[in-house]
Amino acid sequence: MGDSSLHVLKGINLYVEKGEMVAIMGSSGSGKSTLLNIIGILDELDSGEYTLDGIEIKDLTEKKAAQYRNKFLGFVFQSFNLINFKNALENVALPLYYQGLKRKERQEKAMFHLQKVGLADWSTHLPNELSGGQKQRVAIARALAAEPKLLLADEPTGALDSATSQEIMQFLQQLNDEGKTILIVTHEEDISLMCKRIVRLKDGVIMEDKKIKQNRLV
């Protein structure tokens, strides 16, 4: 990242099992976003090794990287990153479009996932007609639509009030219960406590990596 070479991560050894729900904690500048970007194949690693679902991620062409992102990864962002001129359904259907699915199939699948996040009635609404919590739920539906192996969430509750944050986290826990592997980058202590494992980063190294008793939301 950036034009000049800068050592942000200085020796990270992290192994995440299938079905885990991991919080990556750290203050800004700790390297947590860089780590997430590398895991998300949004950024390339300069040295080291990264294996995703048994496949080594290294020197990928743009096309291959796009394919892997589409197939293996679902992203949830702090600022939702919905496409503002597409309605909820179209946003959710977008990764399916890049999978090459037929229009009808895309719409059916997208509708199924919208239903799952409880927004079936809002399918034709544009993002600016939705509340923050609703937007994030559409984003989650979109991340799930391609049925990825790993869900990556970058400060998913960063732009939400605490009640809505709870609601989103509850939903993520529920997904994890269904077997989805989830990685959440956050700097909020209470959010990290809702995961099953906390990895603390500081200045590019792992300070602490511990399993915790999950704070369940009901």
According to DSSP, the residues that pair with 51 across neighbouring strands are 56
Amino acid of residue 100: G
Mark the segment that binds another protein (CB under 8 A) among 51-59, 74-82, 169-177, 200-208.
74-82
Q: What contacts 58, CB < 8 A, 6 or more positions away?
A: 45, 49, 50
Mark the segment that binds another protein (CB under 8 A) among 17-25, 75-83, 175-183, 199-207.
75-83
Dig out the tokens for 28 from the structure: 């800004």
Q: Does 31 bind another protein (CB under 8 A)?
A: no
Among positions 93-112, residues that touch another protein (CB under 8 A) are 94-95, 97-99, 103, 106
Closest CA to 91 of 122, 52, 58: 122
Among positions 132-171, residues that touch another protein (CB under 8 A) are 142, 146
Q: Which is nearer to another protein, 105 or 177 (by Cβ)?
A: 105
Q: Does 69 bind another protein (CB under 8 A)?
A: yes
Asked whether the beta carbons of 165 and 157 are under 8 A apart, the reply is yes
Cβ of residue 142: shortest distance to another protein, in angstroms? 7
Q: Does 77 bind another protein (CB under 8 A)?
A: yes
How far is the C-alpha of 32 from the C-alpha of 205, rounded, in Å?
10
Q: Does 43 bind another protein (CB under 8 A)?
A: yes
How far is the C-alpha of 164 from the C-alpha of 187, rounded, in Å?
17
Q: What contacts 177, CB < 8 A, 6 or more positions away?
A: none
Residues at the contact surface with another protein, assessed by CB under 8 A: 1, 37, 40, 42-43, 62-63, 66-67, 69-71, 75, 77, 79, 81-83, 85-86, 94-95, 97-99, 103, 106, 142, 146
